[in-house]
Amino acid sequence: MSDKEHLQLAATQEEVVLKEILSPLWSKRWKILAFALLVSLAVGLYASFLMPSYQATAILQIGSNQPSNTLSIKKAFNESAASWEQVQTQYELLRSRKFAERVVTTLQLTEHPAFSSGKYKEHALFSDNDAEQITSLSFSQAVAILQAGLTITPIVDTELVKISFTAYDAELASEVANQIGQTYLEYQDELHSASKESTSHWLVDQLQELAVKLEVSEQALQAFREQEGIVDVKGIAGLIESELTELTSSALKASKQVDDLKVTYQFIQQHKGEPLLLIELSEITNSPSYIKLRTAQDQLESKVNELSQRYGPKHPKRKSVEAELQSLSTNLARQVAEQVTAIEEAYFVAQAKVEALDERLAKTKAEFLRISRLNNRFSQLQREVETNKELYSSYLVRLKETDAMGNYKSNFYVRFIDKAITPQFPVAPNKSLMVIMGFVLSVALTAFIVVMKELLMDTLNSRRKLDSFHEADILAVLPKFKATRDYQKGTCTDNRFVEAIRSLRTSLLLSNDKKPPQVIAITSSVPNEGKSTVALQLARSFSEMEKVLLIEADMRHPTIYKSLDLDMHRPGLSNLLAKTHQINECIVRDTNVRLDILTSGITPANPLAFLSMKRFNMLIKVFSNFYDRIIIETPPVNAVSDAAITSRSVDSVLYVVHSTKTKREHITSGLKVLSQVNAPIGGVIVNQSENIDTDNYHNKYYHDKTNIIKLPVRKYG
């Protein structure tokens, strides 16, 4: 299946689901409308009994200023935005019970007749405006009524706030709204006065304590100076720190020198008696005296080599040069020995220097730590003195500012912008809106209940539920129709129902590839599901094209005689089985169509015993030789066992269910009973369907009755 086909299938399913939801609403539209109108009438009647309510509004400006008792004079007169929490606090103050109690007391609202009147008019049946209630209004009740009618609404992006009060008296509404604002003004004045007085006392107490703390801290600092003899502890600490830095640098250099000489010294100690190895030391070979002697030695050795080639060993020149070379070698050895001794002495001197520097460095560190501790203690005492001085000066300035700003208003400057005036027109009740809302809500509520009831109903009342039903085949869905006078005579004039019966007839004729069922039993789960109507109309449909016999096998509660306007005591099936009457006395012939009807007859004491007779089976076989189709109406399966017994003599059993009344568990249990006796179940017929669109074509095609060709009535003789 392609994506396009999938989308088309999904759209079709959504359309079906939407129809299933809207169909019950449409079918019950008049009931929903009637209920909504009834509710609207009740709401309108209730609204007519309500007292008119008047609302008065005063506008107050609450400007934000910072507190004068905690800021400087310069900052106090600089306007600054208050925080959201502070502004919200002012709104809550206006709504508070404290303000409400003040207003009730000031205006004496407990004795005001209009304030304590009920919301219903005096002529109303359930009016609560009686003298006893007016005189018995308590203070707490008056406060609660005032808070219920009070509304505080800030105007966005402004410093303005609306104070609205709703009452059943117009003048009372304006008085209360104005008094709320006036009470807030008085509260701000009281708050400022109390705050100023308490702040002054508190600042004086704090100044006394700070003066004592400042004096104690100054005495402690001076005592520390005298005890330690400190004049400039920071300067001394700086000198010691510089000396410590120089000593540390010198100690590092000396330690490095010792490390360098230590390697040479260890080499000398290892090769003390080996002059030739000692000469390899860089300290010796790089010395100028050694280089000079070594150069002279090399020259003499070269000269001796020249003379040895020219003269013999005893030649005076040769001997003189050799003697000079010998003397030079002795000086060179002495020079090496002196260099070695000098290196050893330098190593010992460097060690001694390192030890001396370490000792001096340790003493300097100890002195630096001592001076640091003194400096820390001195700084701590000095900071304490400075802090106490700053606190004392700050509190002294605030005390002077508090005294100087005695006329400055409190945290918020408050003033009336518009005082409330007496309203001319009521704001409630809005009768039209109440009626409209009652109508809309009642329609919505009723529609919701109808839809939920339809969705939660465990029946076969929708296409979706039919698709999920797999216990048996669905042969037909018969629409609900209204009974007319013709129907009282057994004739149905509803075109949709008639066409649905014909579709059922076609399904039965084509249901079996070999041979359609000749003997058909029609049953149901419980009574009043319409099996008698289905049996009668199906028999009439078959009689249009063949010879048909309708047998009423429900001898317990027969109903077909009523549909055909027959005598309930006339002989029928029970009389044939009891052999009290002949066949021609029991069968009723419909002269308009080829339909014979065998009613139930006299109700026996035990109908099940009659149906279990061999004679019943024999009668069915005899009738099969004379009729093309036999339709048997049987009692409900879940009520009695008559249908199970009858199913042994038929070719097919049709199971009729009511679309909105028969639960699926009853259908399943009934089909299970038939399956247990191996009944030939032909399928299920859904009757009295309201929400399933059985066939739009039928309704459209048969709407214009001029399109129907009336055939001449064929008499049956």
pLDDT-derived band at 522 (thresholds 50, 70, 90) equals very high
Looking at the fold, whether 443 and 477 belong to one and the same domain comes out as no
* pLDDT confidence of residue 37: 92
pLDDT-derived band at 122 (thresholds 50, 70, 90) equals low
In a domain, 653, yes or no: yes
Total of domains in the chain: 3
Looking at the fold, whether 561 and 628 belong to one and the same domain comes out as yes
Which residue reads 């020995």 in tokens?
A: 337
Kindly state the average pLDDT of the residues 482-489. 56
Burial 440-449 (b: 16+ CB within 10 A, else e): eebbeebbee
* pLDDT confidence of residue 252: 81
Which residue reads 């003899």 in tokens?
A: 229
* pLDDT confidence of residue 633: 92
Distance between CA atoms of residues 600 and 612, nearest Å = 15
Query: 577 Cβ partners below 8 Å, 6+ apart?
Result: 610, 613, 615, 616, 619
- Say yes or no to pLDDT of 207 above 80: no
Per-residue pLDDT tens over the stretch 232-288: 666 677 777 777 788 788 778 877 777 777 667 666 666 666 665 666 666 666 667
Kindly state the average pLDDT of the residues 616-630. 91
Backbone torsions φ then ψ of 412, nearest 5 degrees: -125, 135
pLDDT mean across residues, the chain: 76
- Say yes or no to pLDDT of 450 above 50: yes
Distance between CA atoms of residues 717 and 714, nearest Å = 10
- Residue 265: CB atoms within 10 A of its CB come to 19
Kindly state the average pLDDT of the residues 84-90. 73
Q: Describe the strand order of the beta sheet including 412-418 as a list of residue ranges.
A: 150-154, 160-167, 54-64, 412-418
* pLDDT confidence of residue 623: 92
Least confident interval from 67-71, 291-295, 599-603:
67-71
Which two three-digit tokens encode residue 663?
């639960």
In a domain, 362, yes or no: no
pLDDT-derived band at 440 (thresholds 50, 70, 90) equals very high
Amino acid at 61: Q
- Say yes or no to pLDDT of 405 above 60: no
Looking at the fold, whether 32 and 116 belong to one and the same domain comes out as no
Looking at the fold, whether 520 and 649 belong to one and the same domain comes out as yes
Looking at the fold, whether 25 and 91 belong to one and the same domain comes out as no
- Say yes or no to pLDDT of 642 above 80: yes
According to DSSP, the β-strands at 629-633 and 519-524 are parallel
Kindly state the average pLDDT of the residues 343-348. 74
Query: 672 Cβ partners below 8 Å, 6+ apart?
Result: none
98-102, 256-260, 327-331: which is most confident: 98-102
Contact indicator for 684, 475 with CB cutoff of 8 Å: yes
Kindly state the average pLDDT of the residues 465-476. 82
Cβ-defined contacts of 293-302 (< 8 Å, 24+) = 293/328, 293/331, 293/332, 293/335, 294/332, 296/328, 297/325, 297/328, 297/329, 297/332, 300/324, 300/325, 300/328, 301/325
Rounded to 10 deg, the angle between the 495-509 and 531-543 helix axes is 70
In a domain, 610, yes or no: yes
Which residue reads 């009070």 in tokens?
A: 150
Looking at the fold, whether 128 and 27 belong to one and the same domain comes out as no
Alpha helices in 157-169 (DSSP H): none
* pLDDT confidence of residue 449: 85
- Say yes or no to pLDDT of 74 above 80: no
Give the 3-state DSSP-derived string for 65-96, with helices as H, strands as E and coil as C: CCCCCCCCHHHHCCCCCCCHHHHHHHHHHHHC
Contact indicator for 454, 689 with CB cutoff of 8 Å: no
More confident site: 69 or 165: 165
Kindly state the average pLDDT of the residues 281-307. 69
Kindly state the average pLDDT of the residues 476-494. 67
Distance between CA atoms of residues 501 and 403, nearest Å = 104
Looking at the fold, whether 677 and 631 belong to one and the same domain comes out as yes
- Say yes or no to pLDDT of 652 above 70: yes
For residue 488, give its domain range.
463-703
Distance between CA atoms of residues 176 and 147, nearest Å = 11
Which residue reads 């609204």 in tokens?
A: 47
More confident site: 254 or 597: 597
Looking at the fold, whether 444 and 540 belong to one and the same domain comes out as no
In a domain, 209, yes or no: no
- Say yes or no to pLDDT of 77 above 60: no
Contact indicator for 534, 542 with CB cutoff of 8 Å: no
Q: Which helix (H) or strand (E) holds 444?
A: helix 431-456
* pLDDT confidence of residue 141: 84
Least confident interval from 76-80, 506-510, 594-598:
76-80
In a domain, 316, yes or no: no
In a domain, 8, yes or no: no
CATH of the domain at 75: 3.30.70.1130
Least confident interval from 107-116, 132-141, 556-565, 668-677:
132-141
CATH of the domain at 660: 3.40.50.300
* pLDDT confidence of residue 151: 87
Give the 3-state DSSP-derived string for 230-244, with helices as H, strands as E and coil as C: CCCHHHHHHHHHHHH
* pLDDT confidence of residue 655: 93
Per-residue pLDDT tens over the stretch 407-427: 444 456 677 888 888 888 888
More confident site: 84 or 110: 110
pLDDT-derived band at 403 (thresholds 50, 70, 90) equals low
* pLDDT confidence of residue 6: 52
Amino acid at 149: G
Distance between CA atoms of residues 198 and 672, nearest Å = 92
Kindly state the average pLDDT of the residues 375-384. 79
Distance between CA atoms of residues 15 and 457, nearest Å = 20
DSSP sequence for 504-545: HHHHHHTS-SS---SEEEEEESSSSSSHHHHHHHHHHHHHTT
More confident site: 658 or 412: 658
Looking at the fold, whether 448 and 563 belong to one and the same domain comes out as no
* pLDDT confidence of residue 486: 52
Residues linked to residue 248 through DSSP beta bridges, in sequence order: none
Which residue reads 């399928």 in tokens?
A: 683
Which two three-digit tokens encode residue 319?
């001997």
Distance between CA atoms of residues 55 and 425, nearest Å = 9
Looking at the fold, whether 451 and 473 belong to one and the same domain comes out as no
* pLDDT confidence of residue 699: 41
* pLDDT confidence of residue 29: 83
In a domain, 544, yes or no: yes
Q: Is 132 helix (H, G, I), strand (E, B) or coil?
A: helix
Asked if the bond preceding 316 is cis, omega within 30° of 0, the reply is: no
Q: Is 149 helix (H, G, I), strand (E, B) or coil?
A: helix
Amino acid at 282: S
- Say yes or no to pLDDT of 69 above 50: no
Looking at the fold, whether 181 and 91 belong to one and the same domain comes out as yes
* pLDDT confidence of residue 22: 72
Looking at the fold, whether 529 and 474 belong to one and the same domain comes out as yes
Q: Is 402 helix (H, G, I), strand (E, B) or coil?
A: helix
* pLDDT confidence of residue 3: 58
pLDDT-derived band at 193 (thresholds 50, 70, 90) equals low
* pLDDT confidence of residue 653: 92
Picking from 477, 484, 626, 488, the residue whose alpha carbon sits closest to that of residue 551 is 626
In a domain, 58, yes or no: yes
> Which of 356, 390, 418 is the last residue before a domain boundary?
418
